[in-house]
């Protein structure tokens, strides 16, 4: 063995040991490889080779992951090509999301076929509801839903009749979201964008197309769509509210779990949101029980749970974006203890570094999906993310106040939340005007992510972590 | 000495170069307006929210089909998998010649053309091509607006002036994306421009010079009404017509309008920028 390489091998061995101590992460890796087994025609098994050589001791763990992944990997959806009429029952199988002036949801026919459909906005539609419908099945609009779980679209032509209401939980979630949207509308009737509703509950129906473009150019789309950031913030907020209560930690975590589940459901129950809720729960649980939580393990466990429950999520871009964002955080952001020992100056630079790291980590995937990479994303995020955090907490707080004192709630919203929301819009608007705010990136193979991720792991300093 | 961090940084940089250093394609997923370099002819691509609109398909001669050889590769390279709307300004070979070659490789959802050309011999020949059979054709008898993606298209159908020239009947298209407007007049001569002005045109910061910059189009009056910032000449290098004409260039210079030409600058892609258009690359 050549001498100059010896230190490298020693370091790689250290890294190997660190990963070996995180079986959940190995299970997660093997699970992914298992999921890819059939679609890739067996090629994804190659991913197991490094696992085999590096982590022979943990063979049982990752074999379990591999088998689980293979068994659970979602079969490909047979897409509808021909138009046909449909009349019968459908069950709403996703949380309906508000789009422009209708409600978009995936419904399942009794034969199990999933179709995307839109209901009139005035209707109250919740997951699990059963409707009698009449309409025609048509193909998905091309390119619109690359990872759509539905086989096609269902265009409703006749009347829609509610046959049976779904579980109360989903109805509560719908009403929770509606209550917030109503609160925002009541507090500021002029506000058509309803940015607060977008930030807190993923209600993006009011957002103007040009604002979306501004978000893309400044690398901040995640604040209104995919990251689950708002769930993390809300979880922290709820935990702070729960902490002083004189009850056992088990109850606290139970209450928090219930509230977070309702919140995730109200916010659309999209994969990143649910994953964020699970992760928050694991973090808070570790904190309440005074256990050290390891970021990488937490991320792996939360993602695994979610993938086992909803395997098709593995094709969801938002899910992967959130994994890359949170993954970079748990790998490269020092622990809370290390942070508290820093001077203000060091803290500032650490924040800059964090924003840069997250922007870099998510850049390849956003570039792949939007064909665009934001150059100023990390600067804008640096300013916007704390503002968004604050705006979420203030808006949710004002809404909660309004349950008891409606006028005070609106007053707090107008006085505290609105200026924050204006500031957020102002920064995003201004940032997008830079001529070089973003550059276009051509289509590339996702195999480029392999050296990218492996390189990132080599840059990881395990001793610095322990969140 | 190699350590793990150098190796890691090396891998990340390697991957980043592979991902971001690959040939940049302008704005394939956002709003854009591209004037394709197709030689002596017209082909303008509008993209908005994943939708694609093609206005004219470039020229085709027996020896060279710009539609199949230039337009299709560009569409494929920029990720256009189908054309949601194909607009025919008028059925001259330099505008419609490339259409069959495009349709053979890229599905077209709908074609728009003036009703006056319904029985035009060139159009009869083009539309009876096997590749175009089954594509719905909308024959416009009067002006109309369409919204595709975020792009608002306004079509003007100007009255025939008693002439037999196809150019006079060019379908005029005003494109508006996110507040930025561009005017495409096909091969409309200045008499048609007068009629157009009377219809009440809003200003547009981008103007594709009518009839490839011929001296008989792009009147001073039109420039005054449109007040473009940039003018595009869609012309072939050393074309036989002397396009763009020096008279036109002089009118532009007097009005302080910047000129871009597809023969020298290649394909020009613009993105809307708050009422104006920014040249993307
Ligand atoms: Zn022409």
* pLDDT for the residue A35: 83
Q: What is the Cα–Cα distance from B4 to B8, expressed in whole angstroms? A: 6
Contacts of B18 in chain A (CB under 8 A): 444, 448, 451
pLDDT band, residue A143 (cuts 50/70/90): very low
A446-456 mean pLDDT: 85
Look at chain B and report how many structural domains it folds into: 1
Average confidence (pLDDT) over A343-354: 82
State the best of A458, A460, A461 to mutate against chain B, taking most chain B CBs within 10 Å: A458
pLDDT band for position A140 (cuts 50, 70, 90): low
Is the pLDDT at A318 greater than 50? The verdict is yes
Does the pLDDT of residue A345 top 50, yes or no? yes
Question: Is B7 close to A373, i.e. CB distance below 8 A?
Answer: no
- Residue A464 is predicted with a pLDDT of 45
Q: Which residue has the higher pLDDT, B140 or A276?
A: B140
Q: Hunting for tokens 């260039």 — which residue is that?
A: B249
Residue B224 has pLDDT above 60, yes or no: yes
Which of B3, B15, B81 lies closest to A142 in CB terms?
A: B81
C-alpha of residue B95 to centroid of ligand 1, in Å: 6
pLDDT of residue B183: 96
Of chain A, the percentage scoring pLDDT greater than 90 comes to 14
- Smallest Cβ–Cβ distance between A370 and the set B25, B29, B178 belongs to B29
Chain B hits for A18, CB-CB cut-off 8 Å, are none
Per-residue pLDDT band at A413 (split at 50, 70, 90): very high
Q: Which domain holds residue B37?
A: 4-279
Does residue A240 carry a pLDDT above 80?
A: yes
pLDDT of residue B181: 94
Average pLDDT of the residues of chain B = 87
User: d(Cα B4, Cα A10) in Å, to the nearest integer?
Assistant: 9
pLDDT tens digits along A250-272: 888 888 889 888 988 888 887 77
Inter-chain touch A367–B20, beta carbons under 8 Å: yes
Residue in chain B lying closest to A449 (CA): B15
| Residue A169 confidence class, pLDDT cut points 50, 70, 90 | very high
Q: Look-up: residue for tokens 């997660």?
A: A28
Please write the tens of the pLDDT for every residue from A369-410: 666 677 888 888 888 888 998 999 999 999 999 999 999 999
User: Phi/psi of residue B178, each to 5°?
Assistant: 45, 45
pLDDT of the residue at A100: 62
Q: Which residue of B has its CA nearest to A429?
A: B274
What does the mean pLDDT of chain A come to?
Answer: 82
What are the respective helix, strand and coil percentages of chain B, to the nearest 5?
30, 25, 40
Q: Of A5, A370, A455, which is closest to B9 when you measure between CB atoms?
A: A455
More confident residue, A373 or B100: B100
pLDDT tens, A283-303? 788 777 766 667 888 889 888
Q: What residues contact residue A260 under an 8 Å CB cut-off, 6+ apart?
A: A231, A234, A235, A238, A277, A280, A281
pLDDT reading at B209 higher than 90: yes
Lowest mean pLDDT among B27-36, B107-116, B228-237: B27-36
pLDDT at B26 over 50: no
Asked which of A63-67, A104-108, A230-234, A435-439 is least confident by mean pLDDT, the reply is A435-439
Query: B13 vs chain A: nearest CA distance in angstroms?
Result: 8
> pLDDT at residue B163 above 50?
yes
Distance from CA of B34 to the nearest CA of A (A): 15
Over residues B102-143, the pLDDT tens digits come to 999 899 999 999 999 999 999 999 998 888 988 999 999 998
Pick the CATH number of A84-166 from 2.60.40.1930, 2.40.50.140, 3.40.718.10, 3.40.50.2300: 2.40.50.140
- Residues from chain A contacting residue B21 (CB–CB below 8 Å): none
Instruction: Map tokens 């961090």 to a residue.
Output: B5
Which of B4, B15, B49 is opposite residue A8, by nearest beta carbon? Answer: B4
- Pick B255 or A212 by higher pLDDT: B255
Per-residue pLDDT, A73: 80
Report whether B59 contacts B92 (CB < 8 A): no
- Mean pLDDT, to the nearest integer, of B173-180? 91
Which ranges constitute the DSSP H helices of A218-343? 229-242, 249-266, 271-288, 295-309, 317-332, 336-340
B201-222: b or e for each residue (b if 16 or more CB lie within 10 Å)? beebbbbbbbbbbbbbbbbeeb
pLDDT of the residue at A81 = 65
- The Cα of B79 is separated from the nearest Cα of chain A by a number of Å equal to 8
Kindly list the domain boundaries of chain A, sorted by start residue.
Answer: 3-72, 84-166, 177-458
Choose the mutation target among A442, A444, A461, A464 for the interface with B, i.e. most B CBs under 10 Å: A442
For residues A135, A139, A140 and A143, what is the CA-based torsion angle, rounded to 10 degrees? -160
pLDDT class of A444 with cuts at 50, 70, 90: low
- The answer to whether residue A278 scores a pLDDT higher than 90 is no
Residue from the list B2, B13, B14 with its beta carbon closest to the beta carbon of A8 = B2
Nearest Cα residue in chain A from B26? A440
Q: What is the pLDDT of residue B24?
A: 45
Chain A positions with Cβ closer than 8 Å to B: 4-5, 7-8, 11-12, 15, 142-144, 209-210, 213, 216, 363-364, 367-368, 370-373, 433, 435, 439-444, 448-452, 454-460
Choose between A66 and B239: higher pLDDT: A66
CATH number at residue B154: 3.60.15.10
The residues with which B268 forms a beta bridge, in sequence order, are B35
What is A26-88 written as a DSSP string? Answer: HHHHHHHHHHTTTTTTTGGGGGHHHHHHH-GGGHHHHHHHHHHHHHHPPPPP----S-EEEEE
For chain A, percent of residues with pLDDT exceeding 70: 88
Q: What is the DSSP letter of A367?
A: H
ipTM of this predicted complex? 0.71
- Residue among B4, B19, B150 whose CB faces A15 most closely: B4
């Amino acid at each position: 063995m050549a001498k100059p390489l010896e230190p490298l091998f020693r370091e790689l061995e250290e890294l190997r040991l660190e990963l070996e101590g995180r079986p959940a992460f190995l299970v997660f890796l093997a699970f992914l490889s298992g999921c890819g087994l059939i679609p890739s025609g067996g090629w994804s098994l190659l991913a197991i080779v490094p696992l085999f050589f590096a982590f022979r001791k943990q063979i049982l763990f990752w074999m379990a992951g591999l088998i689980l992944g293979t068994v659970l990997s979602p079969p490909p959806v047979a897409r509808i090509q021909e138009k046909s009429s449909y009349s019968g029952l459908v069950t709403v199988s996703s949380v309906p999301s508000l789009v422009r002036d209708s409600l978009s949801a995936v419904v399942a026919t009794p034969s199990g076929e999933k179709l995307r459909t839109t209901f009139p906005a005035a209707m109250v539609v919740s997951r699990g509801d059963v409707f009698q419908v009449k309409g025609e099945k048509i193909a998905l609009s091309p390119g619109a839903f690359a990872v759509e779980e539905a086989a096609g679209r269902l265009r409703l032509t006749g009347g829609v009749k509610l046959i049976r209401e779904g579980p109360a939980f989903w109805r509560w979630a719908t009403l929770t979201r509606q209550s917030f949207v109503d609160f925002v509308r009541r507090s500021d009737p002029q506000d058509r964008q309803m940015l607060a509703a977008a930030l807190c509950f993923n209600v993006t129906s009011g957002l103007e197309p040009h604002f979306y473009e501004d978000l893309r150019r400044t690398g901040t789309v995640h604040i209104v769509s995919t990251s689950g950031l708002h769930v993390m913030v809300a979880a922290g907020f709820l935990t702070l509210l729960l902490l002083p209560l004189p009850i056992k930690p088990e109850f606290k975590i139970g209450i928090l779990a219930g509230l977070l589940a309702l919140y995730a459901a109200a916010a659309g129950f999209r994969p990143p949101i649910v994953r964020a809720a699970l992760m928050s729960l694991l973090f808070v649980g570790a904190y309440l029980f005074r256990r050290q939580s390891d970021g990488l393990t937490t991320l792996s466990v939360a993602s695994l749970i979610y993938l086992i429950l909803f395997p098709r999520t593995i094709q969801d871009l938002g899910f992967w974006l959130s994994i890359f964002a949170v993954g970079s955080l748990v790998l490269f952001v020092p622990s809370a203890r290390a942070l508290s020992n820093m001077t203000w100056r060091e803290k500032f630079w650490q924040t800059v570094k964090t924003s840069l790291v997250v922007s870099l980590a998510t850049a390849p995937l956003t570039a792949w999906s939007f064909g665009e990479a934001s150059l100023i994303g990390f600067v804008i995020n640096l300013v916007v993310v704390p503002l968004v955090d604050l705006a979420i907490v203030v808006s949710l707080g004002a809404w909660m106040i309004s349950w008891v004192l409606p006028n005070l709630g609106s007053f707090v919203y107008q006085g505290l939340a609105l200026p924050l929301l204006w500031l957020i819009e102002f920064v995003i608007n201004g940032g997008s005007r830079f001529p070089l705010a973003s550059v276009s990136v051509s289509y590339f193979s996702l195999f480029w992510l392999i050296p990218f991720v492996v390189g990132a792991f080599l840059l990881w300093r395990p001793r610095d972590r322990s969140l | 000495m190699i350590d793990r961090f150098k190796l890691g940084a090396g891998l990340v940089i390697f991957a980043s170069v592979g991902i971001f250093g690959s040939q940049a394609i302008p704005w394939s997923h956002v709003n854009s307006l591209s004037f394709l370099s197709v030689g002596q002819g017209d082909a303008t691509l509008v993209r908005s929210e994943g939708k694609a609109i093609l206005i004219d398909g470039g020229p085709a001669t027996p020896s060279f089909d710009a539609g199949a050889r230039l337009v299709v590769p560009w569409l494929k390279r920029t990720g256009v998998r189908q054309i949601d709307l194909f607009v025919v300004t008028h059925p001259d070979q330099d505008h419609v010649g490339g259409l069959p070659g495009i349709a053979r490789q890229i599905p077209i959802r709908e074609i728009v053309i003036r009703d006056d050309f319904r029985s035009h011999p060139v159009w009869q020949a083009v539309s009876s091509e096997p590749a175009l059979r089954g594509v719905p054709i909308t024959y416009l008898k009067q002006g109309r607006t369409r919204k595709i993606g975020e792009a608002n298209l306004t079509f003007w159908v100007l009255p025939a002036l008693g002439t037999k020239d196809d150019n006079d009947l060019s379908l005029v298209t005003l494109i508006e994306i996110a507040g930025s407007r561009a005017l495409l007049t096909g091969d409309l001569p200045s008499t048609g421009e007068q009629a157009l002005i009377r219809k009440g045109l809003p200003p547009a910061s981008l103007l594709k010079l009518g009839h490839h910059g011929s001296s008989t189009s792009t009147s001073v009056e039109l420039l005054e009404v449109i007040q473009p910032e940039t003018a595009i000449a869609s012309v072939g290098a050393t074309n036989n017509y002397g396009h763009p004409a020096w008279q036109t260039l002089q009118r532009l210079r007097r009005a302080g309008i910047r000129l871009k030409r597809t023969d020298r600058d290649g394909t020009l892609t613009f993105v809307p920028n708050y009422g104006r258009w920014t040249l993307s690359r």
